[in-house]
Amino acid sequence: MKISFTNINPHIFSFRENHRPKENSLEKSPKSDTFEMSIGYVNDLHGQTNNMTRILSGIKGDLRVSAGDNNIGDEKNKAVNLSVIKFMNMAGIVGSAVGNHELDTKQKDFADTANKFKGNYFAVNLKQTRLEDEDGEEVEEQERTQLDKVIKKSAIVEVRGEKIGLIGTAPVDLTERITHPSYHSDCTVDDLEDSIEDIQEEVDKLHKQGVNKIILLSHLGNERDKIVAENTTGIDVIIGGHTHELIKGIKEGENLLYSKNGEPVVITEAGKNGNYFGKLNLTFNNDGVITKAQNNLGETKKFSKNMINQYIINEILGEPEIVGYIKYVTPPPLTLIEENAHANFMCDAMRYELNTDIAIWNNSGTRSYFQEGMIDSRDIKDIAPFEDRISVANVSEKKLVDMFKHAIEDTYKTHGNKPGLLAVSGLTYAVNPKEGKLTAMNFVDKDGNEHPIDIENPREDKFYKVAQDSFMMFEGADFDILAPKEECINYPFNKDFVACEYIKRQNKPIEINQTGRIKFEE
């Protein structure tokens, strides 16, 4: 069945009066040949509290949902994750997929946070060993809890008397993406084929309960969402996340696909870090099949902050400090294989404040960007939200070169180009994108002089003082470990603190234009 669809300029749209869904509603609409509803959606917010205060001023929809990765980081980010839940409750979000960042923290911490959520978390494909079958000491040490008490497979909500089914999926690579795998070693996630069976089984259960309008909240990623759409029946909409796709409008064959029985399935995703949020307008016929659809995106920065939410966040996180003024900014990159001036600036802050030879940061860890005007500590925290403390170590030239070689090779052969090209200070390097190889590297001293490094024969007896966060330096992440923890100077603060001090020390308007450190060769 073909459906009509409308594309609207994502920056020009209006919202109708909100109707919150409610469970066990007794209100019924008069029977008609069609049913219209709207879905307000977010995904991959990554703890971006500033953007959340703006989204709250704009998000609308009869039903409001998330595709997961609302939270960020482990137990050190507990206050940020509590702020996220406050936002989700104020925004009227009634359901969210479980993303990998939801489980960066210990199970007890996640459960404590989830219990404060007025909606539900969903993951039909997440499996956990029963606690009574686990080692008691490990359960206590890792602060385990039975996750199915706070994570559902599905739920039914009502919108003006119509039953709507919600199902959720965790990412199939969850155990590879979480920060602390040991926290969840008792958990597995079904592969894609089995996840599709899990989803279909849950759809069939909902159908038996009289539900013919079903929304999948998916943290599988866009390509997997397409496979799910074409290999199941009964799903009408997939609100997606995980791969940070920015899907504007509706285009047949891309985000308008057809199920096994030929019914339309609409897929949406609103990028990452809360820079956008969406509103999907739908018309269903009496059989619960979509006949019309319209997908709109709102650009978050165009909305003013909701001051109530801002006040609540400040109560939790503290009042931000004004640290300086940004005079000019180079636009942030759109992909992980572009140079990131914003991340390079953060590396400059680490290098100069800690007096190291070199500073390095993971491009994909950059969750926001500088903007012109006054800047406060909360803005910078959004750029570096993970509480990964800074570590400094003496690193051999060979270890440094090998890490860059491996990171670049992985970046160009991986879907989504993860982990991404590295932001640097005190280094320049060259990349051949076609071959995915490091081709040259130079050390840049404090006077700006470049000293070539022989990347074919890097020295094991030459050392540089290097600053990184602990996630990169010794916890493994997606990179070679440069030094074990016991060989590092481990500072009790994150990159955001150092950047604030660096900006204050400048005592003048700042320009974010630190580029030219990566050269791209044919």
Give 25-38 pLDDT, tens digit per residue.
333 344 557 999 99
| Structural domain boundaries enclosing 119 | 4-11+49-302
pLDDT tens digit sequence for 218-275: 999 999 999 999 999 999 999 999 999 999 999 999 999 999 999 999 999 999 999 9
Q: Which CATH number does the domain housing residue 508 bear?
A: 3.90.780.10
Q: Are residues 298 and 326 in the same domain?
A: no
DSSP code of residue 492: S
Residues 278, 325, single domain; the answer is no
Judgement on whether residues 346 and 252 belong to the same structural domain of the protein: no
Residue 409's φ and ψ, nearest 5 degrees, are -60, -45
| pLDDT attached to residue 363 | 84
| Amino acid (one-letter) located at 278 | G
* Prediction pTM value: 0.83
Rounded alpha-carbon distances, angstroms, from residue 426 to 192, 444, 448:
43, 5, 8
In a domain, 158, yes or no: yes
What is the C-alpha separation between 491 and 470, in angstroms, rounded? 9
Q: Which CATH number is 253's domain given?
A: 3.60.21.10
The answer to whether the CB of 139 falls within 8 A of the CB of 124 is no
Token pair belonging to 407? 């990171």
295 and 344 in one domain? no
Q: What is the pLDDT of residue 313?
A: 92
Whether residue 331 sits in one domain with residue 190: no
Does residue 37 lie in a domain region? no
Assign residue 355 a region (left: φ > 0; alpha: ψ between -120 and 50; beta: otherwise): left
pLDDT recorded at residue 28 = 38
User: For residue 68, is it left (φ>0), alpha (ψ between -120 and 50) or beta?
Assistant: left
Whether residues 295 and 329 share a domain: the answer is no
| Closest by Cα among 129, 40, 52, 121 to 83 | 52
Residue 41 lies in a domain: no
Q: What is the pLDDT of residue 11?
A: 30
DSSP, res 377 = H
Note whether residue 19 is domain-resident.
no
Both 186 and 245 in a single domain? yes
CB 331 within 8 A of CB 481: no
Distance between first and last Cα of the chain: 47
User: 266 pairs with which residues across the strands?
Assistant: 237, 256
Interatomic CA distance for residues 474 and 504, integer angstroms: 30
pLDDT < 50 stretches in the chain: 6-30
Last residue of a domain, one of 274, 302, 330: 302
**8 Å CB contact between 358 and 466:** yes
Is 250 domain-assigned? yes
Do 416 and 455 fall into the same domain? Answer: yes
Share of the chain above pLDDT 90, in %: 85
- 229 found inside a domain: yes
Task: Give yes or no: residues 195 and 72 share one domain.
Answer: yes
Among 239, 274, 302, where does a domain finish? 302
25: in domain: no
Looking at the fold, whether 128 and 222 belong to one and the same domain comes out as: yes
500 shares a domain with 435: yes
Looking at residue 200, what is its pLDDT?
Answer: 98
Torsion, Cα 486 491 493 495, to 10 degrees, reads -90
Q: In this structure, is residue 225 part of a structural domain? A: yes
Regarding whether 294 and 328 lie in a shared domain, the answer is no
What does residue 326 show for φ and ψ, rounded to 5 degrees?
A: -95, 115
What is the model's pLDDT at position 10?
A: 36
Q: Which of 244, 269, 302 is the last residue of a domain?
A: 302
For residue 73, give the DSSP letter: S
Question: How many distinct structural domains can be found in the chain?
Answer: 2
